């Protein structure tokens, strides 16, 4: 059994690597380079793939055009990254149709290697306004994939399906599961600002620090000196 | 009203330009460069956009990674293009998940420019084994988009929807409609082999020549001398 794992180098997608491995899949990590400001994500993803001994199966898909298109604070260098709680509704860090784009390209990779699962680390619990992290969205995508895909597995035809093991988990629960699976969190990066040391202030840092604190575990990545990571 | 038109430079997508214009939309053509063998398509798409005076709105999205990934005779230089009727089932010219990838990137463009429609020139009538040209696939995609997208139009929120005006048309009917709308078929290209003169032998040439002949109209593009285009 083979699974494409959409791997950003962040905490959630890296946890999906551990879960897909536990579920018995050979791992085919897929990372997107869409002109995001934090190039450090690509290095983290490569380190995670190496940790799981699947560097040869690790694909990096360039989506420079999304950066050209703009429309998001995560790809548009002229927009400010907001601090936690500053925004209402769909946040400016939303990349248009991002998960749909990621899933569609992962489907191409899955068809080529004969994978039947695409692991995607979305969560509807810590969901902060992204419409494409909802369970109903994933269900609709899977109905679409059931109609559009066929992969041969042991003389049978199976459709490709998106698997979202974190969708009903809080960050606390995700990290607890990751710790049990010895997920290499020290290799991951989450900060929206994407510097060598995490800012500790953006939405993403805030959720991550809280999740580790709630598990009574120290987050192993470096933070700016002013941030408290004590548990 | 704005519409993204997925424009390959072929006959069907160019007909969609004419139909979207007739439907009252401002046109935002989107062309994909995915390492296809026929670069001539990109030139045709640019000529069609210029014909409709929307060169400034014409985006070319690079998807080089799909070419790297391979898996199709249309992107893989080592695979032969089959002649008409040579294959059964899903043809080797199928690009994995292609329409899903095209739609997902068109969705990003639509969100950025505030378009509510994505015109896609698929047909289920001349459908030659591509699973992602079926009406059920398009319906499932539209359910997905209804859950994932919101575009502000005159103080209202609308979701983006895929429009497939050719889905129940034969090639003959598509061409008849295009002729009525003065679609610039002389600028289009359809041949899978992608040379300056069309081969007249591949599935795509075969369907196109038949469609013009059934309308009693001569196809205006050049063919190899050995091909009969008389009507």
What is the DSSP pairing of strand A156-158 with strand A151-153?
A: antiparallel
Q: pLDDT per residue over B90-127, tens digit each? A: 445 556 688 999 999 999 999 889 999 999 999 888 65
User: Contact at 8 Å (CB) between A205 and A190?
Assistant: yes
The token duo for A134 is 């909802």
End-to-end CA distance of chain A: 39
State pLDDT tens for residues A89-121: 544 555 668 899 999 999 999 988 999 999 999
Q: Strands B59-62, B151-153: parallel, antiparallel or unpaired by DSSP?
A: unpaired
Q: Among all residues of chain B, which has the CA nearest to that of A150?
A: B131
Q: What is the ipTM of this complex?
A: 0.86
Chain B contact present for A28, CB below 8 A:
no
Query: What's the average pLDDT block by block, 10 residues per block, for chain B (231 residues)?
Result: 96 98 98 78 96 96 80 54 53 68 94 94 76 88 89 78 96 97 96 88 91 96 79 57
Cβ atoms < 10 Å from Cβ of A209: 22
User: What are the distances in angstroms from CA A18 to CA A3, A15, A175, A177, A180?
Assistant: 12, 5, 11, 9, 10
Q: Which of A96, A134, A143 is opposite residue B140, by nearest beta carbon?
A: A143
Mean pLDDT of A221-228: 84
Give me the pLDDT at residue A90, please: 47
- Taking the C-alpha atoms of residue B156 and residue B118, their distance in angstroms, rounded to an integer, is 19
Q: Which pLDDT belongs to residue A196?
A: 86
Q: Is B50 on the interface with A (CB under 8 A)?
A: no
Q: What is the pLDDT of residue B194?
A: 82
d(CA A192, CA A202): 7
φ and ψ at B138, to 5 degrees?
-65, -40
Is the alpha carbon torsion for B69, B75, B79, B85 positive or negative? positive
Predicted confidence band of residue A39 (pLDDT cuts 50, 70, 90) = confident
Predicted pLDDT at B184: 98
What are the backbone angles phi and psi of residue A170, rounded to the nearest 5°? -75, 170
| DSSP assignment of B73-139 | TTT-TTSPPPPTT---SS-TTPPTTHHHHHHHHHHHHHHHHT--EEE----SSS--S-GGGSHHHHH
E strands in chain B: 2-6, 26-33, 59-62, 117-119, 151-153, 156-158, 161-163
The pLDDT tens digits for A67-93 are: 777 655 445 555 555 565 555 554 455
- Binding-site entries of B for Zn(2+): 191, 199, 202, 205
From the CA of B180, how many Å to the nearest CA of chain A?
A: 33
The reply to whether residue A108 touches residue B96, judged by beta carbons under 8 angstroms, is yes
Q: What pLDDT, in 10s, does the model give residues B205-226?
A: 999 999 999 999 999 999 997 7
Q: E strand or H helix at A60, and its extent?
A: strand A59-62
Q: Classify domain A2-189 at the CATH class level.
A: alpha beta
Least confident of A14-18, A121-125, A218-222, B38-42: B38-42
Q: Which of B59, B45, B25 is nearest to B160 (CA)?
A: B25
Task: Give the confidence band of A63 by pLDDT, cuts at 50, 70, 90.
Answer: confident
Chain B contact for A70 (CB, 8 A cutoff):
yes
Determine the pLDDT at residue B90.
Answer: 46
Q: How far is CA A42 from CA A88, A102, A111, A194, in A?
A: 29, 15, 24, 11
Q: What DSSP state is assigned to residue A227?
A: S
Query: Could you tell me which of A103, A155, A158, A119 has the C-alpha nearest to residue A28?
Result: A119
Of B96, B137, B148, the CB nearest to A131: B148
Q: Is B231 on the interface with A (CB under 8 A)?
A: no
pTM: 0.88
Query: How long is chain B?
Result: 231
Give the bridge partners for A61, in sequence order: A32
| Contact residues, chain A, for B108 at CB < 8 Å | 66, 69, 71, 95-98, 101
* Top-confidence residue, B39 or A147: A147
Taking the domains of chain B in order of start, what are their residue ranges? 2-189
């Amino acid at each position: 059994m083979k699974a494409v794992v959409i791997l950003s180098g962040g905490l959630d997608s890296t946890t999906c690597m551990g879960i897909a491995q536990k579920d018995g899949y050979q791992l085919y990590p897929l990372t997107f380079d869409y002109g995001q400001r934090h190039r450090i994500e690509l290095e983290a993803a490569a380190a995670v793939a190496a940790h799981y001994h699947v560097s040869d199966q690790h694909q990096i898909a360039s989506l420079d055009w999304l950066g050209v298109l703009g429309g998001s604070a995560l790809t548009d260098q002229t927009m400010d990254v907001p601090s936690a709680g500053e925004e209402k509704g769909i946040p400016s860090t939303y990349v248009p149709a991002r998960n749909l784009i990621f899933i569609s390209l992962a489907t191409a990779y899955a068809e080529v290697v004969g994978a039947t699962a695409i692991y995607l680390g979305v969560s509807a619990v810590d969901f902060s306004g992204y419409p494409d992290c909802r369970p109903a969205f994933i269900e609709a995508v899977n109905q679409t994939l059931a109609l559009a895909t066929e992969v041969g597995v042991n003389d049978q035809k199976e459709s490709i399906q998106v698997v979202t093991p974190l969708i009903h988990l809080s960050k606390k629960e995700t990290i607890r599961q990751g710790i049990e699976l010895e997920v290499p969190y020290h290799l991951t990066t989450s900060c929206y600002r994407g510097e060598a040391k995490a800012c500790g202030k953006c939405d993403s840092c805030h959720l991550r620090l809280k999740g580790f604190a709630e598990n009574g575990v120290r987050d192993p990545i470096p933070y700016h000196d002013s941030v408290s990571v004590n548990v």
